[in-house]
Amino acid sequence: MAISRRNFIKNAAAASAFLALGVAPKAMAAGPGDKVDNWVKGVCRYCGTGCGVMVGVSNGKVITVKGDPNNHNQGILCLKGALLAPVIYAKERVTKPLIRKNGELVEASWDEALDLAASKFKEAIAESDPDSVAYYGSGQALTEETYLASKIFKAGLKSNNVEGNPRLCMASAVGGYVSTFGKDEPMGSYNDLDAATCFFIIGSNTSECHPVLFRRIAARKQNDKNVKIIVCDPRRTNTSRIADLHMSMKPGSDLAILNSMAYVIVNEELDDYRFHNKYVNFMTNDKEKVDFEAYKVFLADYKPEDIEELAGVPAAQIREAAMIFAESSATTSLWCMGINQRIRGVWANNLIHNLHLITGKIGKLGSTPLSLTGQPNACGGVRDTGGLSHLLPAGRLIKKQAHRNQLEEQWGMPKDSLNPKPGLHTMALFQAMNDGKVKVVLTLCTNPAQSLPNVLKYREGLEKCFNVAIEAFSDAISLKYADVVFPPAFWVERTGVFGCTERRYALVEQAIEPPGECRPSVNILIDLALRIGVDPALIPYKNSDDIWDEWRKVSAMTPYNFEGITRERLKKESGIKWPCPTEDHPGTDIRYVRGEDPNIPLDYPDKYHFYGKPDGRAVVWMRPQKPAAEPAGGDYPFTLTTGRVIDHWHTATMTGKVPEIARSFPNAYVEVNTKDAKRMGINHGDNVKLTTRRGDMTFKARVGDVCEPGLVFVPWFDPKLLINELTIDAIDPGSKQPEFKICACQVEKV
Ligand code: MGD
Ligand code: MGD
Ligand code: SF4
């Protein structure tokens, strides 16, 4: 039976199990008499939507979690967020320090474990140099944790080998924002979702991965019949089902499609000449400044009729998408890993920005290119505080002497004492462990033995390297490679800040005491650093509030400025968007626009100022179509893509412990298109072997119309059936982000 769009939206919301009320999940076994003693404000532990939560505590235990009505999610949570409480009490929590003895991890005292880890760091640095040690962190660590770890390694140990999982996730989005606008992070906010009349969703399964935002988009569509949704994705995801137009494209053809949309816009004269003439530079790939006419010549290769075969999208659909994008009164673009996890992820980001810049659909409520961030604190922690190997806090770069000198002054270090050489990016770092060049690594809040691409290759390095892990759950497979494990306080067992997609910083307040001997990660980091011999003057903090205050000061004098976001305000308010220079500033919804962005003086002569660029103009880049690193063809005729399912978080160390969730997706599976399945005699539930140039693995088939013919999809949450053993580790040359989304494979019924 056909389903009307209206009904679909209702059903989609129901299927995503949104919860506005606190629930006591069965897994918690909360008794009927349990009553909340106090509610503590926080932020959901999972995705970059950054929903505010209220944590219900009774007798020192979290018994329920509900949405914060004062945060952007207005009290709504998805199932994962609402079922966070049982994760805290999972029996697999690491509650004591562990060290490896005779091949087994055994309990140890804090002193023993800290001394052992510190001695290995000291030894490696003494025998080789600071580049022989590394930190690998996470977009799920608190801002204070990432800022501190990065400072300890870069300033204390003089090693710039500071990386984290955002390299696997947001690096191409960062590269896109920086090369187009000169500064990282989105310029819009979630308020744009309530005002947009066109949503252009490309390479994002918003419905499953940012469900509370999807609900907001669906509600917007339901309330205004003029709202149009375009989805560009090679899978018919739940997201695509509310689309007015779904461009079901061939994987890897985004660059051609985006240029083709620009072609239509320009040829139909739907561009905003006054805007781009004043605020935009057109640049070739070789960074040569050209004029609008040269851009038109570049676009001539992307006539929809000429690329429809390559893209697998009818020319009429590309034309329609371009017209809707340009003719709507307000267009918001949303994208995520279908764009970023590609060897031309930065370019694809640039081309999305291009569409906004040529149409002037930017910096007005409802018009914005809004990259969806994956993790709860990839923005606030790793991107903003500079937790990557080429960065220093607040957008500063290691390679720039002036930037290093600013930090040296702020951190009380001698001039020119920071290491000027950028460290190794994530994939190079794990290769250096394989090569024996990086000898000791500290990981925090990440599970690389499951999440890296072509993962078997890099487990060798994890085995070789002395591996110190701060990890909350004993069944995380990376612990098989750990030599020392420190037990951290988890989620609301310590205090700190998360910064989500819309530049909103919000406080996660400590609600309960951590179990056993668990300690806040900042305390672990400080103790370890002191034992390695880091100058105590560099880390003089009594608690994480002090770290936050220092970070506020470090942000001042930069366009990130959030001096006004004090701890006291964060305790009272449910999040504040930077820039926010003073305590009476309300936070910023729209950047780069006079009167909105406090970085632009009110008497600035022009309305827009892209101050990240020397002449204040953003860049429209001429980026050509390029194929994937390993396109389907020959002996490997299928494209394999990987991604997420609504209920599981990443490596499932947390969601896998909630029975209500685990039951819905017990194992990984492979999605096969009905036509392909028929041709190969594959039925739903049959065993199907996938073979790539890196190995093979057998999954149960889910036959349907989600994947286009020629495409198969496998989720990567399952450590027992881990698709990352088969994925390619090719990277974007600019962002160094791996191409998780495309590799070639064979499909065979077994
Ligand atoms: P993915 O499933 O990785 O999720 O959020 P998303 O990026 O939305 O992939 C997104 C889409 O890319 C898929 O629908 C896929 O079909 C499409 N795609 C594949 N190849 C191409 C292509 O060539 N072009 C285009 N245009 N699209 C393509 C990821 C986000 O989710 C992230 S980064 C994190 S860290 C969080 N993780 C997470 C989770 O683990 N589980 C859940 N439930 N939510 C999460 N939210 C966040
Ligand atoms: P997580 O499961 O989030 O995955 O990859 P990972 O970061 O490796 O790992 C978090 C770890 O921290 C878990 O082991 C968890 O138990 C632990 N933990 C939880 N809470 C705490 C805490 O409070 N403190 C500490 N110290 N530890 C804690 C994510 C990465 O995976 C990302 S971000 C992306 S976008 C990539 N996406 C992707 C993909 O789309 N496809 C494929 N095939 N692979 C991918 N890998 C990447
Ligand atoms: Fe948590 Fe994301 Fe769900 Fe919000 S949408 S409740 S942040 S998992």
Reported as a pLDDT band with limits 50, 70 and 90, residue 9 is: very low
Weakest mean pLDDT among 31-40, 222-231, 366-375: 31-40
Instruction: Say how far apart CA 315 and CA 304 lie, in whole Å.
Output: 5
Q: What mean pLDDT value characterizes the chain?
A: 95
Domain membership of residue 544 (yes or no) is no
Number of alpha carbons in the 13 Å side-chain half-sphere of residue 618 = 29
Residue 688 and residue 719 in contact, taking contact as beta carbons nearer than 8 Å? no
Same domain, 496 and 425: yes
**Where among 42, 60, 88 does a domain terminate?**
88
Q: What is the mean pLDDT of residues 456-483?
A: 98
Tokens describing residue 489: 């306080």
Decide whether any atom of ligand 2 lies within 6 Å of the 209 Cβ.
no
SS3 278: helix
Q: How far is the CA of 190 from the centre of ligand 1 (A)?
A: 19
- 3-class SS at 414? coil
CA of 25 to the centre of ligand 2 (A): 24
Same domain for 128 and 183, yes or no, is: no
Query: Tokens for 554?
Result: 């470090």
CB of 649 sitting under 6 A from ligand 3: no
The verdict on 357 and 220 lying in the same domain is yes
CA-closest residue to ligand 3 atom 4:
51
- On whether residue 585 sits in a domain, the answer given is no
Nearest CA to ligand 2 atom 47: 451
297, containing H or E segment: helix 292-299
Tokens of 573: 């308010």
Instruction: State the distance from the centre of ligand 2 to the C-alpha of 651, rounded, in angstroms.
Output: 6
> How much is the pLDDT for 639?
98
Start-to-end CA span in the chain (Å): 34
Minimal CA–CA distance to 6: which of 265, 242, 184, 196? Answer: 242
Distance of CA 208 to the CA centre of its chain: 14
Nearest CA to ligand 2 atom 18: 445
Domain containing 258 — which CATH number?
3.40.228.10
- Give tens-digit pLDDT for 475-485: 999 999 999 99
Q: What is the mean pLDDT of residues 551-579?
A: 96
**Which of 443, 446, 518 most suits a substitution to test ligand 2, by most atoms within 8 Å of the C-beta?**
446
| Of 44, 87, 377, best ligand 3 pocket probe by most atoms within 8 Å of the beta carbon | 44
Burial (0-12, 13-18, 19+ Cβ within 10 Å), 42: buried
Instruction: Please compute the mean of the pLDDT values over residues 149-176 and round it to a whole number.
Output: 98
Q: Does one domain contain both 156 and 261?
A: no
Residue environment code for 559-598, b if the CB has 16+ CB neighbours within 10 A, otherwise e: bbbbbbbbeebbeebbbbbbbbbeeebebbbbbbbbebbb
Single residue among 321, 352, 371 that ends a domain in this structure:
371
Quote the crossing angle between the two packed helices 401-410 and 544-555, to the nearest 10°: 140
Q: Let me know whether 312 and 209 are in one domain.
A: yes
Task: Note the pLDDT tens digit of each residue in 339-398.
Answer: 999 999 999 999 999 999 999 999 999 999 999 999 999 999 999 999 999 999 999 999
- Domain containing residue 659: CATH number: 2.40.40.20
Residue nearest to atom 10 of ligand 2 (CA): 446
Residues 133 and 152 in one domain: yes
Mutate to test the pocket of ligand 2, among 62, 143, 165 (most ligand atoms within 8 A of CB): 165
Look up residue 362 and give its two tokens: 């930017």
Give CA 699 to chain center in angstroms.
27
Ligand 1: does its nearest atom lie under 6 Å from the Cβ of 336? yes
User: Which atom of ligand 1 is least distant from the CA of 378?
Assistant: 35
Q: Is the CB of 45 under 6 A from ligand 3?
A: no
CA distance 585 to 580: 6
102: left (phi over 0), alpha (psi -120 to 50) or beta: left
**629 inside domain:** no
For residue 45, the CA-to-ligand 3 centroid distance in Å is 8
> Does position 90 have pLDDT exceeding 60, yes or no?
yes
Q: What mean pLDDT is predicted for residues 110-136?
A: 98
Whether 149 maps to a domain, the answer reads yes
Same domain, 364 and 385: no
Task: Answer whether 648 contacts ligand 3 (Cβ < 6 A).
Answer: no
For residue 724 and ligand 2, the question of a CB distance below 6 A is answered with yes
670-673 and 695-704 beta bridge pairing: parallel
pLDDT value of position 660: 87
DSSP SS3 for 654: coil
Strands 440-444 and 504-508, how do they pair?
unpaired
Q: Give dist(CA 739, CA 694) in Å, integer.
A: 14
Q: Which residues contact 216 (CB under 8 A, 6 or more apart)?
A: 190, 193, 194
Low-confidence winner among 76-80, 316-320, 660-664, 729-733 (lowest mean pLDDT): 660-664
340 C-beta closer than 6 A to ligand 2: no
Alpha helices in 182-210 (DSSP H): 191-195, 206-209
Give the pLDDT band of residue 28 (cuts 50, 70, 90): very low
Residues 509-534: tens digit of each pLDDT: 999 999 999 999 999 999 999 999 99
- My answer on whether 199 and 295 are in the same domain is yes
Within a domain: 580: no
- pLDDT of 13 over the 70 cut: no
pLDDT for residue 10 is more than 60: no
* Closest-approaching ligand to the CA atom of 311: 1
- As to burial, measured by CB atoms within 10 angstroms (0-12 exposed, 13-18 middle, 19+ buried), residue 144 is buried
Confidence label for 730 from pLDDT (cuts 50, 70 and 90): very high
State percent of the chain over pLDDT 70.
Answer: 95
* pLDDT tier for residue 32 given thresholds of 50, 70 and 90: very low
How far, in Å, is the centroid of ligand 3 from the Cα of 383? Answer: 20
Per DSSP bridges, beta strands 61-67 and 98-101 are unpaired
Answer yes or no: do 532 and 420 share one domain: yes
Stated as kind and residue range, the H or E segment containing 747 is strand 743-749
**Would you say 661 and 648 are in contact if contact means Cβ atoms under 8 Å apart?**
yes
Token duo for residue 252: 């890897």
In one-letter notation, the amino acid at residue 649 is W
3-state secondary structure 94-160: CCCCEEEECCEEEECCHHHHHHHHHHHHHHHHHHCCHHHEEEEECCCCCHHHHHHHHHHHHHHCCCC
Cα-to-centroid distance, 297 and ligand 2 (Å): 44
Say if residue 313's pLDDT is above 50: yes
* Strand 198-202 relative to strand 331-335, pairing: parallel
Q: Shortest CA distance to 295 belongs to which of 280, 306, 279, 284?
A: 284
Tokens describing residue 466: 């002395």
642 Cβ below 6 A of ligand 2: yes
Are 338 and 193 part of one and the same domain? yes
Residue reference for tokens 């999610």: 73
Question: Is 388 within the bounds of a domain?
Answer: yes
Q: Which amino acid is at 457?
A: K
Pair 512, 421 in one domain: yes
Task: Assess contact for 539 and 73: CB atoms under 8 A.
Answer: no
C-beta of 49 in contact with ligand 3 (< 6 A): yes
Q: How many domains does the chain have?
A: 4
Q: Give the domain CATH number at 33.
A: 2.20.25.90
Q: Which domain holds residue 701?
A: 638-727
Q: Which residues contact 612 (CB under 8 A, 6 or more apart)?
A: 178, 181, 182, 183, 559
Q: Which residue has the higher pLDDT, 660 or 510?
A: 510
Cβ atoms of residues 313 and 247 within 8 Å: yes
Q: Are residues 83 and 129 in the same domain?
A: no
Nearest protein Cα to ligand 1, atom 18: 338
| Centroid of ligand 1 to alpha carbon of 726 (angstroms) | 18
Element (H, E) at 679: helix 674-680
CATH of the domain at 140: 3.40.50.740
Sheet holding 289-290, edge to edge: 289-290, 280-283, 618-621
Q: How many residues are recorded in the chain?
A: 750
Residue 376 alpha carbon to ligand 3 centre in Å: 9
**Phi, psi (degrees; rounded to nearest 5) at 194:** -85, -10
Among the candidates 60, 88, 116, a domain finishes at 88
**Which ligand is located closest to the Cα atom of residue 454?**
2
- Report the pLDDT value the prediction gives residue 33, as an integer from 0 to 100: 53
Residue 124 CA to ligand 2 centre (angstroms):
27
Is 622 inside a domain boundary?
A: no
Residues 13 and 480: their CA atoms lie apart, in Å, by 39
The ligand whose atoms approach the alpha carbon of 376 most closely is: 3
Q: Classify residue 624: in a domain, yes or no.
A: no
Q: Residue written as tokens 């204070």?
A: 144
| Percent of the chain topping pLDDT 90 | 94
Which residue among 47, 213, 231, 340 has the greatest number of ligand 1 atoms within 8 angstroms of its CB, and so is best to mutate?
A: 47
Q: What angle do CA 627, 235, 333 make, to 5 degrees?
A: 80
Q: What is the mean pLDDT of residues 128-142?
A: 97
Quick one: average pLDDT of 426-437?
98
Peptide bond just before 579 cis, omega within 30 deg? yes
Best residue among 645, 653, 690, 724 to mutate for probing ligand 2, ranked by most atoms within 8 Å of CB: 653
Residue 591 CA, ligand 3 centroid: distance in Å: 25
For residues 448-461, average pLDDT: 98
* Ligand 3 atom closest to the CA of 82, numbered from 1: 6
